[in-house]
Amino acid sequence: EKVKNYNPYLNTATLSKAYKFALTAHENQKRESGDPYLIHPVEVANILCDLKLDSATITTGLLHDTIEDTDATYKIVVKEFGKEVADLVEGVTKISKLEGQAIQNSKAENIRKLILATSKDIRVLLVKLADRLHNMRTLNSIPDENKRIRIANETMEIYAPLADRMGMNRIRDEL
């Protein structure tokens, strides 16, 4: 309904299909808070709706963790949702993998440059920022204080400046 308010050409069947796909893919997963995992991709999609983004980007928000955290593969996402969405989901997955590898070895500025350089489509960065924003909104549910501090520092050093460079002041400020 939220998307319909600004996008009369919305493909509701694709969004419903993406929701059901994410529901099945994350079926037995829980967030550290104990909530069903599906809440996270739905909230990421909701943030993307607030930004009035296109259907492919919102679909990607629903699916952004499927390649990384479930049995779903790039090929399956291509088959179900097309190459555009699969490439976006894969782009978000690549950034997540970069995070884990690069944080220990590199300065934040180098990581920001790496993320920008590897993102062929700006929508990948928008989904990643929405993902990080929701993770920050739920940061208190992570019991490990060191992990909370690491995520908060990563956000301040990498994602808030990235949002700033993209002119996304509201998201930068909330991050």
Give me the active site residues, please: 68-69
Specify burial of residue 128 (Cβ count, 10 A radius: 0-12, 13-18, 19+). Answer: buried
Q: Phi then psi for 53, rounded to 5 degrees?
A: -90, 170
CB-CB contact of 69 with 97 (8 Å) = no
CB-CB contact of 41 with 22 (8 Å) = yes
**What is the three-class DSSP state of 30?**
strand
Q: Phi then psi for 30, rounded to 5 degrees?
A: -125, 150
Beta strands in 14-58 (DSSP E): none
CB atoms < 10 A from the CB of 47, how many?
22
